[in-house]
Structure 1
């Protein structure tokens, strides 16, 4: 039982999870500050979305070019590089006297997240007693989403109630990164046989035929869930300020944080309700969150924005953890990393491309109408994923893949 576990044995797992959370917090730290940068540097809402999306391009680039680096050179070196990129990103924001600094900061932030996404998840699980346990998996996913949620909350509170709103959040983050580096140096390396950096080869996302039945709805749900997060973390502060007269940066940061915290709650119940039910339930949650967001845009009501963050975030957590588990289980062992990379590429495309589309449209038809068009498109995608899942017989996607493999082996 959990209560009988040696807590000292779990300490390295929790410490590595804390390091993971600190790094991911830096990727969402600027969210409630964009309006201040707009006032200071004078750029449009489209520019806000592009600055935000540059981060996702950095993540995708690292996943494709060096997603397997930690398997070769070790977990700690890659995580230290990730902390270095995060620190360089914070320095760029501290020096931001022109738009180029913001682009550089977001790109470096994306590189840090790309380095951490796979390596830190594996490291957290490997440091836990009984590698691969559900508890260790939840620590990793909670650290990821919890860090993303803490970023806007920390920045919003500091920007609202402390001096130097465009500087203090990044100074605090630099201090946390330094502490994280010290923690990493005190944790053990988990990769036994390390190879030189020259052994790292770019990964091409692969999709074996037997995985496609699982991958389609999983990818659609992941795309929509991350797109919803992308809108919340890029343009929701502007919507709150323009239409709801919410100029409090702490409130803006809290609403964004609620979506990520709700995702943790959604992920935590996947084990209890099962992966087969979690994916369609997650799609339903995403659809409900999108509907509430549309209602919030139409009637301009703050409670609906909050409910949208909670329901949509919970749906994203349910859908993404179930999608990731099903795709990993259905993949051949020798192609698993490539298939998971493909799923993350789709997810991070969701966090960037639709957000840029909202920014482009908002310059022509306004933020409200652009948001409603975005919601309609995302709702259509999640309905397609849900309809496909409802057409499946009462078995999970992994069972379908197993049957396909048996037929191919005959």
Structure 2
């Protein structure tokens, strides 16, 4: 047993570093109301500040999505931790709105480096025969870290002093600890090239991955769009419509969606990768319906249920998507293909959120949310039908494998 655990040690430690980085990206979620009071900006500005993060992620994925395939995983993870630390410093120094934009952009750059590189590192450092469990570790670290961010910030903001500073100070300490962990981890890319070999690439996929990538990306877009709305505007809805001003509760509601995603990912091992995608779309549709009910009747229990059900659906779809594209990719293109999947996912987490912010002014936050739900319900229904009619090609048929 001890030997077995030692074999998993690099994989689990890599997942822990991944989780710390991703937690920093959602730390501001329960704090946006405090920033609105401090700087006096609108709900639209909240969504734009949030979406700047996605711009950073997508930009980094497009410019350097395959960087870790070229220079190695560890150098890219070092840069990611550096951007995460710089983001925390921006929030600690925030005396004007521009600091928030800078902090979110740096956070996006960090996540853009980590998503492909850390996912590939965790999968490659697993013991032989552990590919399925390693995929769960990677996706659980991603979503679990995203969930811990708002929970940590909400609890500290509600029950400790200096709510706009302490969460980011704590995160800086965690980033420093992650750097120490990274020092002891081995590189998994055997043949590395210099940084000058990294070239920006237009989005593209190896031919053998395309049959898997289409349905996987569709499901990822919808799941991340739902998470984007939860993360950016749900604290405002809870405060304005449900009179919930406890920031720990707001952070917990958002965290539940990400933790439920981890549970959904765990279920993929039982239902199978191909079935998890359409099942995930069905659960996402149910989560959207519950969220519509929460907005219409202004009921907190329905908000909680929508977070749990929608999160499970996102987890089912997302782990199935990552597994499918990773297993269909060759080792030297795996991080690049995973990064391409995240480009689609983070497009979903940004554009619909800005749309909600634009509509919140003229028709109110509830009305904007209902319009969003209607659009996403149509999309997820179409995606579900597509997935049922055209099942993804198994990795072995696509010519993939580790």
CA contact (8 A) 1:157 1:250 kept: yes
Measure, in 2, the Cα distance between the counterparts of 1:52 and 1:295: 25
Which position in structure 1 is the counterpart of 2:265?
267
> 1:245-286 CA deviation, whole Å, 9 max, x = no partner?
000000000000000000011111111111221111100000
Between 320-329 and 23-32, report the one with greater CA deviation.
Answer: 320-329
* Residue 136, structure 1, aligned to residue 125, structure 2: no
Between 371-380 and 214-223, report the one with greater CA deviation.
Answer: 214-223
TM-superposed CA distance for 1:339, in Å, is 4.2
TM-superposed CA distance for 1:368, in Å, is 0.4
> 1:137-159 CA deviation, whole Å, 9 max, x = no partner?
21111111110000000000000
Counterpart secondary structure, 1:247? coil
Q: Counterparts in 2 of 1:306-317, with a 5 A limit?
A: 306-317=304-315
Q: CA RMSD in A?
A: 2.0
CA contact (8 A) 1:145 1:264 kept: yes
Question: Unpaired runs of 5+ in structure 2?
Answer: none
TM-superposed CA distance for 1:91, in Å, is 0.5
Cα 1:295–1:75 shift into 2, 3 Å:
same
Between 341-350 and 42-51, report the one with greater CA deviation.
Answer: 341-350
CA contact (8 A) 1:211 1:401 kept: no
Question: Unpaired runs of 5+ in structure 1?
Answer: 406-410
TM-superposed CA distance for 1:391, in Å, is 2.5
Aligned equivalent of 1:285, options 277, 283, 286: 283
Counterpart secondary structure, 1:201? coil
Which position in structure 1 is the counterpart of 2:393?
398
Which position in structure 1 is the counterpart of 2:93?
95
Q: Counterparts in 2 of 1:236-275, with a 5 A limit?
A: 236-275=234-273
CA contact (8 A) 1:205 1:339 kept: no
Count of residue pairs brought into register by the alignment: 399
CA contact (8 A) 1:72 1:196 kept: yes
Which position in structure 1 is the counterpart of 2:172?
174
Q: Counterparts in 2 of 1:44-123, with a 5 A limit?
A: 44-123=42-121
CA contact (8 A) 2:296 2:366 kept: yes
Which position in structure 2 is the counterpart of 1:301?
299
Cα 1:269–1:206 shift into 2, 3 Å:
same
TM-score, normalisation: structure 2: 0.94
TM-superposed CA distance for 1:4, in Å, is 7.2
Counterpart secondary structure, 1:244? coil
TM-score, normalisation: structure 1: 0.92
Measure, in 2, the Cα distance between the counterparts of 1:131 and 1:115: 27
TM-superposed CA distance for 1:228, in Å, is 0.3
> 1:2-58 CA deviation, whole Å, 9 max, x = no partner?
x57522222222222111111100000000000000000000000000000010111
* Residue 226, structure 1, aligned to residue 221, structure 2: no
Measure, in 2, the Cα distance between the counterparts of 1:218 and 1:54: 25
CA contact (8 A) 1:63 1:203 kept: no
Counterpart secondary structure, 1:356? helix
Aligned equivalent of 1:192, options 184, 190, 193: 190
Between 114-123 and 187-196, report the one with greater CA deviation.
Answer: 187-196
CA contact (8 A) 2:65 2:340 kept: no
TM-superposed CA distance for 1:334, in Å, is 7.3
CA contact (8 A) 1:125 1:140 kept: yes
Cα 1:401–1:265 shift into 2, 3 Å:
same
Cα 1:314–1:209 shift into 2, 3 Å:
same
